[in-house]
Amino acid sequence: MIIFKTVQGIEKVLSKLIPENKKIGFVPTMGALHHGHLSLIEQSKKQADITVCSIFVNPTQFNDQTDFQKYPVTIENDILLLEEAGCDILFLPSVNEMYPQGTVLKQPYNLGFLETLLEGKYRPGHFQGVCQVVHRLLSIVKPQVLFLGQKDYQQCMVIRKMIELAALPVELILGPTHRENSGLAMSSRNMRLSDEGKQKAVAIFNSMQYIKEHITQEDVEALQRKSIDMLLKAGFDPVDYIAICDAHTLAPVDTYQPDKKLVVLVAAFIEGVRLIDNLMIN
């Protein structure tokens, strides 16, 4: 694996691949890698000729400075994991390299409704920062295929919208959420939890499963109340949201409709760490 820290360095090598018609697959990450990330690398290896991964903890997408400062950094281990996974190129830029003109976003992205609810509502400015960094990375790496995890369901929708708005020539492929045997979704932020916290955090998966199993029998509001109670009892505090939404638009639903694809999305804090997860429920 070749590691590049500068835009100039990676662009020089990648531009040589264009005349050779090599298909570039790209997996952007913030590091502290786990099997969820590696599953995207594996997918890219199957579908592209060259796999590029980036590790960049993007300051512009953190609305909470403590969350940014405490974001886990395990770069040496990440490099080993990427080597083992057969990743071809790792892009490891600094903040200056990514934002030579400063971090202020000149033209906000018109994300519309998507930015007004769930993560958009609870993390103001977060998705603008996500679009800013992914747009910049795509303009550097110029992949034909971009691999994202469904673990960040709303983020996938936002990036799809940004790609449309900017008319970028890239195909988006979504990978399934990888979980621990307990059901807990793998996440870099899990590293900040104690063993006990990790056990308690399984309540997120259990509450989503509860909704999935009861959606045809109980009304949506009662299910939401019960599942919030499950999280509070397990030690989550606060619970930002448990929302049952239309899987295509993210509009919240208040009654079950069998012909509509639904997704349940959760965000809640445990041991001061904010976890998010989601599950398709029909």
Q: Yes or no: say if 40 and 27 are a contact pair by the CB < 8 Å rule.
A: yes
CA distance linking residue 223 with residue 212, whole number of Å: 10
Nearest to 213 by CA among 271, 135, 281, 118: 281
CA distance linking residue 211 with residue 205, whole number of Å: 10
Smallest separation (angstroms) from ligand AMP to the CB of 43: 10
Q: Yes or no: say if 170 and 146 are a contact pair by the CB < 8 Å rule.
A: yes
Q: Does 152 bind ligand AMP (CB under 6 A)?
A: yes
Smallest separation (angstroms) from ligand AMP to the CB of 146: 9
Region of residue 103 (left: phi > 0; alpha: psi -120 to 50; beta: else): alpha
Measured from the CB atom, the residue of 37 and 123 that comes closer to ligand AMP is: 37
For ligand AMP, what does the binding mask look like between residues 174 and 193, x meaning CB under 6 A?
A: -x-xx------xxxx-----
Measured from the CB atom, the residue of 70 and 260 that comes closer to ligand AMP is: 70
Q: Does 149 bind ligand AMP (CB under 6 A)?
A: yes
Active site residues: 37
Smallest separation (angstroms) from ligand AMP to the CB of 226: 25
Residue of the chain from 24, 79, 148, 204 that contacts ligand AMP (CB under 6 A):
148
Smallest separation (angstroms) from ligand AMP to the CB of 8: 25
Smallest separation (angstroms) from ligand AMP to the CB of 66: 17
Place of tokens 């103001």: 124
- Cβ contacts of 18 within 8 Å, gap of 6 or more: none
Measured from the CB atom, the residue of 39 and 224 that comes closer to ligand AMP is: 39
Measured from the CB atom, the residue of 31 and 281 that comes closer to ligand AMP is: 31
Q: Which amino acid is at 270?
A: I
* Strand blocks (E) in the chain: 2-4, 24-29, 50-55, 89-91, 145-149, 171-175, 239-246, 262-270, 273-280
Find how far residue 202's CA is from the centre of its chain. Answer: 19
For ligand AMP, what does the binding mask look like between residues 13 and 52, x meaning CB under 6 A?
A: ----------------xx-----xx-xx------------
Measured from the CB atom, the residue of 188 and 227 that comes closer to ligand AMP is: 188
Q: Write out the residues near ligand AMP by the rule CB under 6 A.
A: 29-30, 36-37, 39-40, 148-149, 151-152, 175, 177-178, 185-188
